[in-house]
Amino acid sequence: MKVSHLLCLATALSLSMGSNFVAFADCDGNADKSSCCENKSTDAAQKGSNPAPSADETGAPAAAPTQADASASSTAAQDSKKGRPRIGLALGGGGARGAAHVGVLKVLQEEGIPIDVIAGTSIGSVVGGLYASGMNIDELATKFEDAELMKEFMTVPISVRVLVAPIMVMPRFFGYHPYDGLYNGVKFRNYANKLAGTHNTIEKLKIPFAAVVTSVVDGESCRITEGDLGTAMQASTAVPGVRKPVQIGQKLFCDGGLICNVPVNHVRDMGADFVIAVDIDEPLKPVPLDNFRKMGSMSKQALRIQLNYQDVDQGKDADIVIHPDTEGIGLLSRNKGDAKRGYEAGIKAARAAIPELKRKLTEKGILCAK
């Protein structure tokens, strides 16, 4: 087995043991359209249509990506508000720590703060997409707290998948060459669509929404804003080396957190005037030097540093950043206690931020319902 493969397996094992590796999104290939940010949307529109769509290796039909839709999202957001500044929500990646997003949303809803645009990365796309579908916030909290959502997210522990990986490689010797990764994430895609009910396509969502993904070939940060909701979530959470990337037309996408873990820039591109960012990664805190004598401690700390640097930089363009304390909650934890702690951390952080948030909203001429 190649060294690169061993490294991927080592990363997967680290994930299963509670590593702090960012939760990159997960989804299968049925999304209809995607658009890239960082000024790439205009280029996409000028290039015209893409080649005919192909079927992805999961058997699901893959629709061809079309030109950028930032302006369409902006128009939809404007129509929903009739003149007041648009409020956007940027939900970051973080796996099981996504329960904190639900806690934040619970408080925003209780305080009567309207949300007009949502972009989510990885687990942020899952929480954001389900919220935009109209799913009851208490029901969503329950899905985390009883561990149902994370069990569907990771149906078989990573450690087991790694152990059977050599068997899964066997078909390659007979000419079958699927995309790299331990599994597809199709079951979670179907589960997410079931939760969304009749609002399981992005065009039907009650709030304009984008799932942030990374284009595997050119490394661009892109957003999926049309098509099958579960597929968009699957692509956004496709952690490299763990879940297979998702093909949509002639493009291949993986977890959006590789480039844009807290998608403030996407929310701006979608027409938001005021952006609330939610960063659910573990805080970077001073620790004793002896902590780094433990096996695997350096790789985990390196990931914490990388994520912290990326999250802080991307949060600079937000009007306010809410950062729940998710320390100790593993990326792929299916522990009910972790889910409850994450949810409560989200509530606590959001309540602490409310005074400043309302002050800034008032300065923008936005009056909350409460």
pLDDT digits (tens, 9 = 90+) for 210-267: 999 999 999 999 999 999 999 999 999 998 888 899 998 899 999 999 999 999 999 9
Query: What pLDDT does 177 receive?
Result: 62
pLDDT higher than threshold 50 for residue 160: no
The torsion region of residue 2 among left (phi > 0), alpha (psi -120 to 50) and beta comes to: beta
**Does the structure show a pLDDT above 60 at 26?**
no
User: What proportions of the chain, in percent to the nearest 5, are helix, strand and coil?
Assistant: 45, 15, 40
Of residues 247, 213, 238, the one with CA closest to residue 63: 247
What is the pairing mode between strands 31-36 and 221-227? antiparallel
Percent of the chain scoring above 90 in pLDDT? 54
Report whether 307 contacts 261 (CB < 8 A).
yes
Give the CA angle between residues 57, 165, 14 to the nearest 5°.
110
Section 122-145 average pLDDT: 97
The whole-number average pLDDT for the span 113-135 is 97
Which residues have C-beta within 8 Å of that of residue 143, sequence separation ≥ 6? Answer: 149, 195
CB burial of 169-185 (b: ≥16 within 10 Å; e: otherwise) equals eeeeeeeeeebbbbbbb
How far is the CA of 361 from the CAs of 42, 61, 112, 342, 351, in angstroms?
A: 31, 43, 12, 26, 15
Is the pLDDT at 278 greater than 70, yes or no?
A: yes
Supply angle C-alpha 300, 303, 306, rounded to 5. 155
- Report strand pairing: 251-255 vs 209-215: antiparallel
* pLDDT exceeds 80 at position 185: yes
Between residues 165 and 351, which one has the greater pLDDT?
351
pTM of the model: 0.77
Q: Is 154's pLDDT higher than 80? A: no
Task: Give the Cα separation of 209 and 202 in Å (integer).
Answer: 7
Most confident of the following: 71-80, 147-156, 269-278: 269-278
Strand partners, 31: 227
Residue 136, C-beta contacts closer than 8 angstroms, at least 6 positions apart: none
Q: Give residue 167's pLDDT.
A: 56
Averaged pLDDT for residues 150-165: 62
pLDDT (mean) for 58-67 = 37
State both tokens at 196: 């969304």
31-51 tens-digit pLDDT: 333 333 333 332 332 333 333
pLDDT tens by residue, 253-274: 999 999 999 999 999 999 999 9
Is the confidence at residue 25, as pLDDT, over 80? no
Enumerate the active-site residues: 122, 255
Please give the Cα distance from 224 to 34 (Å, whole number).
4
